[in-house]
């Protein structure tokens, strides 16, 4: 067997999964997952709750054995080479796994020591990571006093004490405020910029749009679409026509007319979205079809399709 890392460098793939299946009792969670992620790329795995995202991550990080299929991460088989794979990856879950009674620096030094670094090297690595993640000023404070965003940054830093080849981030911005979320985006961008492969699960579609080279949409245990954000948007529509209805009754009437054609619904704002090619002629035809008397639609706007449109269209959400 080649040492971990050599196989993926030869093929260009940091992650390869073929036909992964998993069931819990009588519930089939994964129904044959195929995925490939290039070295140094960012893949975002999207899917509704219960689609199988966390199970996929657990298999790829060796925490759960698949019932069928195979997967290689950083050149190692996730079943046969568990120890080698674990030594080449980092996993950050939805909730920070930190000792709140220790300081930020103590947490990082502890993780570095657990990863096998000598005491002096662990201290040096902790200082490097604190500076990299803008936590130097808080290095001597107990983690229990950190904000949510600081904890998430420290949690990711703790997983980087040995420069992993592949970083798994399972919904890393869950529960963060918008400012902390943007800081996390910058952190993920910096990881990718340094050549680290990032496997990201998220429910924030803007996050996937901004960060990912490739997006895979998982629904009911199957990958139903995969491609760059731009490619997936083109599959749904080049543009979207958003209609703001004049009243609740008008909203309900047009909603019935649109049926499955609506790719965006915002009842509170009385807004419905429908795919369009972006031309004035097509927009005019849609308006005439849906509101021939000019009484139902208060205003409209055309904008580029988003991953929200892709997600709703593909998962029928």
Question: Which pLDDT score, from 0 to 100, does residue 237 have?
Answer: 58
The radius of gyration of the chain from alpha carbons, rounded to an integer in Å, stands at 23
Instruction: Kindly state the tokens that stand for 282.
Output: 């097509």
Confidence class for position 115, pLDDT limits 50, 70, 90: confident
Domains of the chain, first to last: 6-227 (3.40.50.300), 234-315 (3.30.70)
Q: Quick one: what percent of the chain has pLDDT higher than 90?
A: 56
CA distance 226 to 39: 17
Strand partners, 274: 241
pLDDT score of 67 more than 80: yes
Q: Is the dihedral of CA 309, 310, 316, 317 positive or negative?
A: negative
Q: Are 301 and 273 in contact (CB under 8 A)?
A: no
Distances (CA, A) of 200 to 93, 188, 214, 286, 315: 10, 9, 10, 38, 19
Q: What is the mean pLDDT of the chain?
A: 88
Predicted pLDDT at 223: 94
pLDDT at 6: 46
Q: Give residue-wise pLDDT tens across range 236-246.
A: 656 789 999 99
Q: What is the pLDDT of residue 290?
A: 96
Integer distance in angstroms from the first to the last C-alpha of the chain?
44
Q: Which helix (H) or strand (E) holds 170?
A: strand 166-170
pLDDT classification of 316: cutoffs 50, 70, 90: low
The whole-number pLDDT of residue 101 equals 94
pLDDT band at 7 (very low <50, low <70, confident <90, very high): very low
* Angstrom distance (rounded) from CA 303 to CA 278: 8
Secondary structure (DSSP) of 222-267: EEEEEE-HHHHHHHH-SEEEEEEESSHHHHHHHHHHHGGG--EEEG
At what angle are helices 148-158 and 104-114 packed, to 10 degrees? Answer: 20
Q: How confident is the model at residue 35 (pLDDT cuts 50, 70, 90)?
A: very high
What local confidence, expressed as pLDDT, does residue 95 receive? 61
pLDDT tens across 245-290, in order?
Answer: 999 999 999 999 999 888 788 899 999 988 887 788 999 999 999 9
Tokens for 145? 């006093």
* Range of 18-22, 154-158, 186-190 with top mean pLDDT: 18-22
Q: What is the pLDDT of residue 160?
A: 86
Give the pLDDT band of residue 2 (cuts 50, 70, 90). Answer: very low
Q: Which residues pair with 223 in a beta bridge?
A: 218
Q: Model's pTM, two decimal places?
A: 0.73
Task: Report the C-alpha gap between 137 and 140 in whole angstroms.
Answer: 8
pLDDT at 4 over 60: no
């Amino acid at each position: 067997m080649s040492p971990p890392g050599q196989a993926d460098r030869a093929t260009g793939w940091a992650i390869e999964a073929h036909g992964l299946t998993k069931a819990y009792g009588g519930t089939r969670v994964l129904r044959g997952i195929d995925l490939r992620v290039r070295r140094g790329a960012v893949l975002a795995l999207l899917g509704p709750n219960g689609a199988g995202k966390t199970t996929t991550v657990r298999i790829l990080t060796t925490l759960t054995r698949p019932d069928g299929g195979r997967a290689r991460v950083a050149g190692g088989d996730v079943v046969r080479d568990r120890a080698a794979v674990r030594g080449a990856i980092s996993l950050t879950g939805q909730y920070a796994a930190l000792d709140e009674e220790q300081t930020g620096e103590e947490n990082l030094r502890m993780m570095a020591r657990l990863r096998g670094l000598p005491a002096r090297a662990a201290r040096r690595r902790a200082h490097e990571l604190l500076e990299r993640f803008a936590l130097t000023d808080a290095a001597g404070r107990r983690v229990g006093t950190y904000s949510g965003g600081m904890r998430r940054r420290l949690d990711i830093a703790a997983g980087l004490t040995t420069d992993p080849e592949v970083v798994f981030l399972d919904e890393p911005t869950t529960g963060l405020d918008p400012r902390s979320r943007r800081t996390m985006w910058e952190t993920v961008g910096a990881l990718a910029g340094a050549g680290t492969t990032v496997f990201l699960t998220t429910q924030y579609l803007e996050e996937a749009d901004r960060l990912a080279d490739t997006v895979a949409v998982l629904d009911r245990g199957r990958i139903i679409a995969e491609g760059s954000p731009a490619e997936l948007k083109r599959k749904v529509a080049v543009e979207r026509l958003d209609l703001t209805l004049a009243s609740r009754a008008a909203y309900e009437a047009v909603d019935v007319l649109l049926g499955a054609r609506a790719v965006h619904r915002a009842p509170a704002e009385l807004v419905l979205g429908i795919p369009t090619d972006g031309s004035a002629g097509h927009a005019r035809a849609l308006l005439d079809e849906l509101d021939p008397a000019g009484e139902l639609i208060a205003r409209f706007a055309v904008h580029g399709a988003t991953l929200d449109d892709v997600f709703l269209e593909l998962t029928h959400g």
